[in-house]
Amino acid sequence: MDNLIISGSNQTPTIKLQRGLIEISGRSIPEDPVAFYRPVMEWLNTYVENLPEFTQINLQFEYINTSSSKALHNILKTLNDKCDESHKMEINWFYEEGDDDMFELGQFFEPYLRIPMKYIQTAE
């Protein structure tokens, strides 16, 4: 399976998807979130059919709009549905010091997931 790398912009996050590591960082306010995240979902749907023993998920958003939050929910749900004892995962949720909105967004997702989440505060 090939890696998927999408370069970020002022409106879209940088996305790096490879076996065992999923990283999304930056701003997520694309004009059409469904279209933007479509290749990510396609990659993930293939990925979850042959998961490694462990997948690290690093999420570090500067800002994410409501439509992108829905796309992120779909990403996390796809991964969560396959998380089990033989396919472990962990989410590192990075947020800037003082950015309560980003911290609380992570907390919003957490109750719906079996994947453990670790909150990591970064300097502004």
- pLDDT tens digit string along 82-107? 988 899 999 999 999 999 999 999 99
Percentage of the chain with pLDDT > 70?
A: 100
Check residue 4 and give its pLDDT.
Answer: 98
Does domain 4-24+34-87+100-118 fall under CATH 2.30.29? My reply is: no
Model-level pTM? 0.95
Q: How many CB atoms lie within 10 A of CB 86?
A: 7
Nearest residue to 61 via CA among 26, 99, 12: 26
